Amino acid sequence: MTAAPADFLPVIRPMRPRDVGAVHEVESSAYDYPWTLNIFRDCLRMGYECWVQLATDRIVGHFILAMGPGEAHVLNLAVHPGWHNHGLGRALLERALERAERLGAESVFLEVRPSNSPAVHLYMSSGFRRVGRRRDYYPSECGREDALVMRHDLREVAPAGRR
């Protein structure tokens, strides 16, 4: 995947079953321990909020959002490394928050590796706050890594443009 052109037109749309292969390619490029094709298929089949980020005509990012009574959970958010630093992760996160709010969530939760400082920074700058830690949540080269549990309260004052 090449670097993003200066004048690309980003589009976020619902994921389709035929997108799963491209989504898995993004996932595999972004994470050392990616989700499998079947996990993405199951998310679509179960009716989770599954969205893709297009830049020009290719999928370069995605998010999966699970809804529950009064809350949502960002299960997965990834942008292909060749497309980092173009605001696509922030755009995907903002769309996830908009969808959660539209579907009745009051809070949005997620887990993130403490070692993933760009993601932690994105979430903190988007209004997420650390509310806990899950011990040994993620696989890693040295065994297991904890996860930070973060929460965004949608009832707080939203960033400009979302309300």
pTM, two decimals, is 0.90
Q: Is 160 annotated as a binding residue?
A: no
For the chain, domains (ranges, CATH) are 10-153 (3.40.630.30)
**How does pLDDT run across 77-93, given as a tens digit for each residue?**
999 999 999 999 999 99
- The answer to whether 110 and 124 are in contact (CB under 8 A) is no
To the query of whether residue 33 is one of the catalytic residues in this protein, the response is no
**How does pLDDT run across 14-48, given as a tens digit for each residue?**
999 999 999 999 999 999 999 999 999 999 999 99
DSSP letter, residue 156: S
DSSP letter, residue 2: P
For 18, half-sphere exposure in the C-beta direction (CA atoms, 13 angstrom radius) is: 1
Q: Is 131 annotated as a binding residue?
A: no
Q: Which of 38, 30, 39 is nearest to 60 (CA)?
A: 30
Per-chain mean pLDDT for the chain: 92
* DSSP count for the chain of H helices, then E strands: 4, 7
